[in-house]
Amino acid sequence: MDTLGIDFVTLGIQIGAFLIFFAVIAKFVYPPILSMLDKRDKEIDRAAKAAQTAQQMADQSKQETEKLLKKARAEAADIVTTAKSEASNMLEAAETKSKAQAERIVAEAQVSIEKEIIAARKSLHNELIDLVASATEKVTSKAVSESVDRKLIADAVTETK
């Protein structure tokens, strides 16, 4: 053993020191470090799980948001379509109403014109009668002599029953 240079006493002491060191480390150092590492691992796991959960929730939320957006877009499209349709109907109704009103005005105007024409004709008729009567009176007053009157009377008596 001297040839190899191994000193058993020193070796023994070193092994003993190493064992004491190992025991001290195993008792006082490794457990806290191990527990700390465990703790860190657990935290990392927990964080990972939380992140996963958060990711899932985010995905779910995104899906729901997309669903809501899709629904809102569909409703908006419906509303626009309905509004366009109603606007078109209102325009049509307004056009029809205006047309009917215009036709009514024209018809009323025609009736009014016809009434005026009838009234004008009546007035003309009456004026003509007055003129004829007046002219007849004037002319016959001068034209009916006694002899003419005798003839008129004779004719009238012939008609009498």
Partner 1 sequence: MPDKLSRRKLARYVADRVTDGTIPEEVLQELAAYLVESDRQRELVLIVRAIEDILEERCIVIATVTTAHKTDSSLAASLQTRINAKELYVREVVNPKVIGGVRLQTPSKTFDSTIAHKITLLQNAKV
Give residues in contact with partner 1 (CB under 8 A).
122, 125-126, 129-130, 132-133, 136-137, 140-141, 144, 146, 148-150, 152-154, 156-161
Question: Tokens 């150092």 appear where?
Answer: 29
Tally the residues of the chain. Answer: 161
Q: Is-contact 144 152, C-beta < 8 A?
A: yes
When the beta carbons of 51 and 119 are compared against partner 1, the nearer one is 119
Q: Supply the minimum distance, in Å, between the C-beta of residue 120 and partner 1.
A: 12
Q: State whether residue 57 is helix, strand or coil.
A: helix
When the beta carbons of 1 and 156 are compared against partner 1, the nearer one is 156
When the beta carbons of 3 and 147 are compared against partner 1, the nearer one is 147
Q: Supply the minimum distance, in Å, between the C-beta of residue 140 and partner 1.
A: 5
The amino acid at 83 = A
Q: Supply the minimum distance, in Å, between the C-beta of residue 118 and partner 1.
A: 9
Q: Supply the minimum distance, in Å, between the C-beta of residue 147 and partner 1.
A: 9
When the beta carbons of 3 and 145 are compared against partner 1, the nearer one is 145
Distances (CA, A) of 159 to 61, 111, 151: 118, 47, 13
Using alpha carbons only, what angle is made at residue 102 by residues 95 and 108, rounded to the nearest 5 degrees? 155
Question: Tokens 């003309």 appear where?
Answer: 124
The amino acid at 144 = V
When the beta carbons of 3 and 158 are compared against partner 1, the nearer one is 158
Q: Supply the minimum distance, in Å, between the C-beta of residue 154 and partner 1.
A: 7
- How many Cα neighbours within 13 Å face the side chain of 47? 6
